[in-house]
Amino acid sequence: MKTITLIPGDGIGPEITNSVVKIIEKSGLKLVWDIQTAGIDAVKIEGEPLPQKVIDSIKKNKVALKAPVTTPIGKGFRSINVALRKELDLYANLRPCKNLPNVKTKFDNVDIVVARENTEDLYAGIERQIDKDTAESIKIITRSASTRIAEFAFNYAVKNGRKEVCAVSKANICKLSDGLFLESVRDVAKNYPDIEYKEILVDNLCMQLVQNPSQFDVLVLPNLYGDIVSDLCAGLIGGLGVAQGANIGNDCAVFEAVHGSAPDIAGQDKANPTALLLCAIEMLKYIGENSYAQKIENALLKSLDGSILTADLGGNAKCSEFTEEILKNLR
């Protein structure tokens, strides 16, 4: 039986985790959950937000489902999410963005997958204050990191029946750094003759995305553009409550919703479990449990098409009531 590391997180994390675990169990799929504590609760129990045993558990099990954890602003511990990405070399941030029934958005037929490089670019954290009026931030782009995110994007396209990969850059201005990114993606594209390859500048992409998003399929981007564009795409399909994500490396993968711990509604049974459930569905596909993934997705889509919806989707159902609806629709 496959063991998955489960991090229930804090805030609304435990509520939505409970919902997702119930749904997977009812689907008939047998998984073993290795439950680990991270974040504020781990500080209280273990004295640190990301105990080594959490990292060891993910390294051993290879796959984790993670609910949101609160990150103190300004002071306190560093983001657990950033630390996990570094520790486990989770170099690909994957964000599938697809319209869902009953989630009102400006466009129908959005079905975009964003593959964002997760380790370098301006996020390498190489900054210095040159003098009191000047600061410098260094953008690092390497052939190896660009090649592996490109291979990830093309492999994802092949595995998931996608038709096209589009590389996003600002290579007209950042000729060396983004130029190297593009050159690396082009080299990889040659090995995938069945997938159409395109390129676009990031500013043009943003305009096209808010005018005609259905023209895009898989996007591959360096870290900074990927961060911004993936949130734009999440907005296209209805925002935080329905946006899923995953951080994937060669050895391990951590599946987590895009939204945070929502302290304003925590403990009130109001949260929408959809984003974390979509992450779990993607996780099941990742571990090869496609039929269970499909079964759960069908039940979720049917439930979203009904009238028992959480407040963020315009309804007045509780998290537990929406969960019950999904459980009813599982067959």
Alpha-carbon distance 91 to 153, whole Å?
Answer: 12
Which of 244, 261, 323, 329 touches ligand NAI (CB under 6 A)?
261
Q: Alpha helices of 95-247 — where are they, by DSSP H?
A: 143-159, 177-189, 202-211, 223-236
Which of residues 240, 301, 327, 330 is near ligand NAI by CB under 6 A? 240
The answer to whether residue 42 forms part of the interface with ligand NAI (CB under 6 A) is no
> Does position 246 bind ligand NAI by CB under 6 A?
no
Stretch of 192-200, 210-218, 254-262, 298-306 contacting ligand NAI, by CB under 6 A:
254-262
* Beta partners for residue 169, in sequence order: 201
Rounded Cα distance between 273 and 277, Å, is 6
Regarding 308 and contact with ligand NAI (CB under 6 A), the answer is: no
The least distance separating ligand NAI from the CB of residue 268, rounded to whole angstroms, comes to 10
Say whether residue 312 binds ligand NAI (CB under 6 A): yes
**Interaction of residue 17 with ligand NAI, rule CB under 6 A:** no
Residue positions annotated with a catalytic role:
123, 170, 203, 227, 231
Whole-number Å distance between alpha carbons of 202 and 191: 24
From start to end of the chain, where are the E strands? 3-7, 32-35, 63-66, 92-98, 111-117, 127-131, 134-137, 164-169, 196-201, 218-221, 244-248, 253-257
CA distance 167 to 199: 5
Q: Are the beta carbons of 277 and 23 closer than 8 angstroms? A: yes
Q: Does 8 participate in binding ligand NAI (rule CB under 6 A)?
A: no
Q: Does 235 bind ligand NAI (CB under 6 A)?
A: no
Q: How far apart are CA 317 and CA 139, in angstroms?
A: 46
Is 329 a binding residue for ligand NAI by CB under 6 A? The answer is no
> Looking at beta carbons only, is 71 or 155 nearer to ligand NAI?
71
Segment interacting with ligand NAI, rule: CB under 6 A, options 43-51, 108-116, 178-186, 264-272: 264-272
DSSP 9: -
Least separation in angstroms between residue 118's CB and ligand NAI is 13
CA distances from 322 to 7, 71, 305, 319 (A): 22, 28, 12, 5
CB of 144 to ligand NAI, least distance (A): 27
Nearest CA-CA partner of 114 in 296, 207, 248:
248
For residues 303 and 296, the answer to whether their CB atoms sit within 8 Å is no
Of 179 and 235, CB closest to ligand NAI: 235
Out of 17, 272, 303, 329, which residue is the one contacting ligand NAI (CB under 6 A)?
272
Stretch that binds ligand NAI, among 66-74, 96-104, 113-121, 293-301 (CB under 6 A): 66-74
Residue 179 near ligand NAI by CB under 6 A:
no
Nearer to ligand NAI, 85 or 162 (CB): 85
- What is the binding site for ligand NAI (CB under 6 A)? 12, 68-71, 81, 240-241, 256, 259-265, 271-272, 275, 312
